[in-house]
């Protein structure tokens, strides 16, 4: 496994640099590398690494969400909060239901099977979106109206809605008795609990750092360890109550920035350095899950279903930004920024098949195809249009 990590690290750095030279997002190079050296390509990754791939991907996601939290100020969040909440649910719900409807026509799915597929595809990838929004925040791109913060906040909650509704449809398919009203009510409760737990963890860390003086490097490790335990708590309590663990992780960073801004600035620099390694693991290992052959099995119908879903999501983003100060160019950018799929689809795309859902193989194929299409196109679109559609401030 250590050898595989060494290969991934060296080749990931080279791929990242090569794609940046081509004026393309570096993450595309790492995604491409993952497909090439993964188990469905050259097979250069050890099975041991693939077995723990999910844990490594989650760790990398925790790192970038902590970094995101350390960069979101209360002033910016207050300004975009209501719109961010609308962006976190309306686009995803419209996308999921659009896919459910069209899959009934094209694939002869039942509405429940369509819902399972729809809300697997509906989740935005924070792994693709968050790093680019952080970069735009630092470069002053769109910051006048808080657009990077708006997208950061919305994307972090979007997955909570998608995964909860996916779980609901999966339960309906299996015939398990569930109260749909309670299931839907669990979404805001999950978000609220995630925020509360994140605030508590952030306050405890601040008190701890005040009592025990230490170097920032050690503080980073304590913060990272606490964030990992927070997500472990989410898993431990999953059968009883849902907690939006990744939102709680981001809240830890937010609380530290709010109460100790100078320390937060130093700590964010430390997390930037860790992210150099973490992003290689994240994107290479996400892409390693992609089986091109399975994706191709979905054929033209898969392309149509994904396109219809993205149209539904685009309408949802447009509706969510009505009444805001955003102009049409900025709203168009928000639509583009909300297209990439990767992390959630790689994590849960195979669950229906493993649970014996009749259409599980087709669902997996379309989930993989969604990654192949939207991750690179979304990443390129975000990078290519940011300076054209958003206002650039001189920082």
**Residue 395 pLDDT > 60, yes or no?**
no
The per-residue pLDDT for 349 is: 84
For residue 239, the model assigns a pLDDT of 66
Q: DSSP for 259-304?
A: H-HHHHHHHHHHHHHHHHHHHHHHHHHHHHT--HHHHHTTHHHHHH
pLDDT of residue 389: 93
Least confident of 122-126, 288-292, 298-302, 382-386: 288-292
pTM of the model: 0.83
Residues 6+ apart with CB under 8 A from 290: 34, 35, 38, 40, 346, 368, 371, 372
**What are the structural domains of the chain?**
58-389 (1.20.1530.20)
Percent of the residues in the chain that have a pLDDT greater than 90, as a whole number: 42
In the chain, what percentage of residues exceed pLDDT 70? 96
| Beta-carbon contacts of residue 197 (< 8 Å; ≥ 6 apart) | 230, 233, 243, 245, 248, 251
* pLDDT tens digits, one per residue of 219-234: 999 999 999 999 888 7
**pLDDT of residue 182 exceeding 80:** no
Selected residue with higher pLDDT from 294 and 394: 294
* Beta bridge partner(s), residue 141: 392
pLDDT tier at 170, thresholds 50, 70, 90: confident
Q: Tell me the two tokens of residue 287.
A: 């892409």
**pLDDT score of 319:** 94
With a cut of 70, say whether residue 199 has pLDDT above it: yes
- Residue appearing with tokens 């669902």: 363
**How buried is residue 225: exposed, middle or buried, by Cβ count under 10 Å (0-12/13-18/19+)?**
exposed
Query: What is the maximum span of the chain, computed from C-alpha positions, in angstroms?
Result: 63
Average pLDDT over residues 381-393: 91
What would the mean pLDDT of 13-36 be, rounded to a whole number?
89
Rounding to the nearest 10 degrees, give the CA dihedral for residues 137, 139, 140, 141.
Answer: -80
d(Cα 338, Cα 205) in Å, to the nearest integer? 33
> Rounded mean pLDDT of 173-177?
68
pLDDT band for position 247 (cuts 50, 70, 90): confident
The predicted pLDDT at position 328 comes to: 92
Judge whether residue 323 has pLDDT over 90: no
Q: Measuring CA to CA, which residue among 160, 46, 151, 7 is closest to residue 93?
A: 160
pLDDT tens track for 79-121: 887 898 899 889 999 999 999 999 999 999 999 999 999 999 9
């Amino acid at each position: 496994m250590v050898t595989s990590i060494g290969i991934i690290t060296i080749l990931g750095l080279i791929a990242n640099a090569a794609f940046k030279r081509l004026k393309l997002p570096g993450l595309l190079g790492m995604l491409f590398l993952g497909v090439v050296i993964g188990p469905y390509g050259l097979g250069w990754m050890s099975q041991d690494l693939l077995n723990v791939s999910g844990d490594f991907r989650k760790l990398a996601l925790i790192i970038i969400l902590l970094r995101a939290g350390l960069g979101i100020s209360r002033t910016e969040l207050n300004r975009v909060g209501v719109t961010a909440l609308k962006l976190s649910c309306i686009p995803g719900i419209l996308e999921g239901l659009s896919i459910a409807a069209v899959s009934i026509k094209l694939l002869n799915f039942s509405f429940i099977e369509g819902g399972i597929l729809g809300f697997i595809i509906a989740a935005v990838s924070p792994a693709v979106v968050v790093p680019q929004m952080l970069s735009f925040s630092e470069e002053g791109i769109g910051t006048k109206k808080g657009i990077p913060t708006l997208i950061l906040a919305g994307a972090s909650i979007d997955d909570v809605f998608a995964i909860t509704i996916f779980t609901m449809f999966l339960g309906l398919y299996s015939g398990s008795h569930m109260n749909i009203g309670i299931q839907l009510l669990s979404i805001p409760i999950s978000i609220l609990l995630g925020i509360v737990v994140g605030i508590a963890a952030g306050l405890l860390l601040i008190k701890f750092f005040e009592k025990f003086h230490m170097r920032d490097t050690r503080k980073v490790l304590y913060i990272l360890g606490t964030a990992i335990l927070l997500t472990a708590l989410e898993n431990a309590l999953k059968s009883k109550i849902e907690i939006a663990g990744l939102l709680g992780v981001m809240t830890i960073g937010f609380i530290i920035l709010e109460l100790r801004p100078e320390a937060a600035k130093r700590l964010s620099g430390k997390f930037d350095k860790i992210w150099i390694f973490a992003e290689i693991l994240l994107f290479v290992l996400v892409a390693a899950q992609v089986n091109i052959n399975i994706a191709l099995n979905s054929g033209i119908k898969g392309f149509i279903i994904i396109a219809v879903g993205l149209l539904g999501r685009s309408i949802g983003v447009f509706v969510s930004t009505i009444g805001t100060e955003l102009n049409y160019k900025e709203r168009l950018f928000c639509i583009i920024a909300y297209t990439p799929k990767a992390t959630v689809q790689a994590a849960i795309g195979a669950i229906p098949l493993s649970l014996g859902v009749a259409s599980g193989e087709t669902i997996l194929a379309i989930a993989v195809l969604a990654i192949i299409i939207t991750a690179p196109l979304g990443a390129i679109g975000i990078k290519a249009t940011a300076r054209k559609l958003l206002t650039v401030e001189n920082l």
